[in-house]
Structure 1
């Protein structure tokens, strides 16, 4: 009925907003905790420990509340843990500068590795945002299995992210040991932001191009999967 459809659409939009907020929280919580504690005078090591604990608590809360493991949150937790380990094993200035490109490169390797083992990373990120019920997640899994263009979309976009992250990471690591540390403090961040901005713009363009070829209809079909199967 029209009223029921309207309520379902409203509930769907609300659930999608919550999913997006959760995804953003996975990324921003450890960063906010880290820099906030630095501002309050905490040491970098202590702030990193607190940030790692914070994202760990968030992942655990999602697991308890939704009875499922938040894969992206676990990935962020792993990156935080690696960053903490690298920071603790040495006080060398250049090694500390290298921890950001190192973790960025690790993320790129994870993206590329997902092309060989399991499904591409961008599939899981997109499914988390758009497929908000077990039935709809199943619909996305079926779409991935049945639709070659859908698989291509996520394999190409995941490959793009992986190549960009590994490349910018390698470039920053090389420059860290070629240029003065005082120069790389700012330049490293500039390189990273430029690379991320570029790959985000490319991802949006590629997604729209794929949608223009009729893929969006298949996505809407998967999103409209019934609440129960």
Structure 2
């Protein structure tokens, strides 16, 4: 992940094309499973259960392929399991679809709480994905304590609004689930979620880069 002004967007980072491909690989199999089964006459409930099982299997395979415990997969795989159980017990596909929104709600809450307690999630993610990058940049530019404090406050604001946005989106999806047919929601939700998540990632990166550029110009002008 590259946040400095000296490197191209694609170097050491994730390009929009990569985000799109990864997003399609994440949502494509489940969509194919759902609408493939619907086309051959399966009910909404059974097609949804199959799609949920495919998504859960993807998460397990991803962890096995990487030979590492992926935090996101560790969160969503059990929730997909709960969604399957709810669908089986209640025979209500909409309730199962609502259950699938829980990861987004938890993520939004995590963003929000992390900002409120002064340990913004975006700052932790940047430190992990761009290990040592901020420290190196701060050393090169001679950041003061005030500069470090300003950088931290940026992440507090970014994490706060990421949390608000994620929770609002999850709430909107619940409204959509109960306003439209299961087929429509199943087609719209994964695609909208993919582009929303990608947009959120790009927005965070752009906000941090703009801040670092302003900081660089301000320090070079002193």
> What TM-score range do you get, normalising by the shorter chain?
0.5 to 0.7
Distance 2:183 2:27 in 1: 23
**1:159 aligns to 2:163 (yes or no):** no
**1:209 aligns to 2:213 (yes or no):** no
**1:149 aligns to 2:150 (yes or no):** yes
Counterparts of residues 1-229 of structure 1 (less than 5 Å):
16=12, 31=27, 34=30, 44-45=48-49, 48-49=52-53, 51-52=55-56, 54-56=58-60, 58-59=62-63, 73-90=70-87, 91-116=91-116, 119-131=119-131, 136=132, 139=135, 147-177=148-178, 179-182=179-182, 184-185=184-185, 186=187, 188=189, 192=193, 195-196=196-197, 199-200=200-201, 202-214=203-215
Partner of 2:40: none
Distance 1:89 1:78 in 2: 17
Distance 2:59 2:194 in 1: 23
Structure 1 pair 94–81 and aligned structure 2 pair: CA distance change class (3 A): same
Residues 160-213 of structure 1: CA distance to partner in whole angstroms, max 9, x if unpaired?
211111001112213323x23257515545654564465445434422331133
Q: Which runs of 5+ in 2 are unaligned?
A: 1-9, 38-45, 140-144
Structure 1 pair 197–60 and aligned structure 2 pair: CA distance change class (3 A): closer
| Aligned positions, number | 192
Aligned-residue Cα RMSD (Å) equals 4.7
Structure 1 pair 44–28 and aligned structure 2 pair: CA distance change class (3 A): same
Answer with 167-176 or 184-193: which moved more: 184-193
Structure 1 residue 45: Cα displacement:
4.1
Q: Is the 8 A contact 1:52 1:77 kept in 2?
A: no
If asked which structure has higher relative contact order (CA below 8 Å, sep 6+), I would say: 2
Structure 1 pair 138–211 and aligned structure 2 pair: CA distance change class (3 A): closer
Q: TM-score, normalised by structure 2?
A: 0.59
Equivalent position SS for 2:101: helix
Q: TM-score, normalised by structure 1?
A: 0.57
Distance 1:54 1:94 in 2: 22
User: Greater share of helix residues, 1 or 2?
Assistant: 1
Q: Is the 8 A contact 2:93 2:182 kept in 1?
A: no
Structure 1 pair 184–111 and aligned structure 2 pair: CA distance change class (3 A): farther
Partner of 1:227: none
